[in-house]
């Protein structure tokens, strides 16, 4: 086990790690235990009662956070013809076709989100092995393969995030910055959480949300009571 630093250990003494806090209390604790000198990202880890080895239990999607992520999202669009102009007008940072494919082949990855029109996916597929491991491969399931590139670009710029359950059945996502006020962080959390509740696979049996943990960069995780959060929504 890695040795923990003095600041991390000091942060651990400020709260009960075994307690499951309500959401408001958990968000408030984030500021007390964070010791980073920069504006840390607030992250959530949600352990779902699914087995991602089975296709009918895979949870994957996207959601637009109402208050954004707090970071500048550099959007790249693979398109041609009229769709290039549409993407540019919507605010895309990089727009092109084979020229961008070649640029990426040569090691360029200065973008955060990639969007493609369906007719460009043959070209994009050539660099799938480069984009996939970085989480940058356009995918119709999260709305990044579409002819409506204008709407896709605007959503990405507004704070759209993609999520996918990992091998352990956990969703990891950034929901804002520590500088956000508590209301904004709670709103962003609730937008993601409600989306996950609505996406519950019919094949998933038993407890769907096993645990919820909030954390900031380098700081210890704070447990949140999933039952208390679920009670806010009609979806169960």
Q: Which helix (H) or strand (E) holds 8?
A: helix 6-12
Contacts of 136 (CB under 8 A, 6+ apart): 109, 111, 113, 114
Q: Where in the sequence of the chain do the CATH 3.40.50.790 domains occur?
A: 75-157
Contacts of 143 (CB under 8 A, 6+ apart): 62, 152, 155, 160
Give the global pTM: 0.82
User: Can you give the length of the chain in residues?
Assistant: 236
Q: Are 160 and 137 in contact (CB under 8 A)?
A: no
Q: pLDDT tens per residue, the chain (236 residues)?
A: 456 677 676 666 666 778 899 999 999 999 888 877 889 999 999 999 999 999 999 999 999 999 999 988 999 999 999 999 999 999 999 999 999 999 999 999 999 999 999 999 999 999 999 999 998 999 998 899 999 999 999 999 998 998 999 999 999 999 999 999 999 999 999 999 999 999 999 998 899 999 999 999 888 889 999 988 888 776 54
- CATH class of this structure's domain 15-68+161-230: alpha beta
What spatial distance separates the first Cα and last Cα of the chain, rounded to whole Å? 37
Kindly give the pairing relationship between strand 113-116 and strand 75-78: parallel
Q: Where in the sequence of the chain do the CATH 3.30.190.20 domains occur?
A: 15-68+161-230
Give me the CATH topology for the region 75-157.
Answer: Rossmann fold (3.40.50)
Contacts of 5 (CB under 8 A, 6+ apart): none
DSSP3 helix / strand / coil % (the chain, rounded to 5): 35, 20, 40
């Amino acid at each position: 086990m890695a040795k923990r630093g003095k600041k991390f250990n000091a942060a651990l003494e400020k709260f009960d790690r075994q307690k499951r806090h309500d959401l408001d209390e958990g968000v408030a604790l984030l500021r007390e235990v964070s010791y980073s000198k920069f504006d840390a990202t607030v992250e959530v880890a949600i352990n779902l009662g699914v087995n991602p080895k089975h296709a009918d239990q895979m949870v994957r999607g996207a959601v637009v956070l109402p208050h954004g992520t707090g970071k500048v999202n550099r959007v790249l669009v693979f398109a041609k013809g009229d769709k290039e102009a549409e993407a540019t007008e919507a605010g895309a940072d990089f727009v092109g076709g084979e020229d961008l494919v070649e640029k990426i082949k040569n090691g360029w990855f200065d973008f955060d989100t990639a969007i493609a029109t369906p007719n460009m996916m043959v070209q994009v597929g050539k660099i799938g092995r480069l984009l996939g491991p970085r989480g940058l491969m356009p995918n119709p399931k999260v709305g990044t393969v579409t002819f409506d590139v204008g709407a896709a670009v605007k959503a990405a710029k507004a704070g759209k995030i993609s999520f996918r359950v990992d091998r352990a059945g956990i969703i990891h996502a950034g929901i804002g910055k520590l500088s956000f006020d508590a209301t904004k962080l709670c709103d962003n959390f609730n937008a993601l959480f409600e989306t996950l509740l609505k996406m519950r696979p019919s094949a998933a049996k038993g407890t769907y949300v096993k645990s919820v943990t909030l954390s900031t960069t380098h700081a210890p995780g704070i447990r949140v009571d999933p039952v208390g959060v679920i009670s806010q929504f009609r979806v169960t």
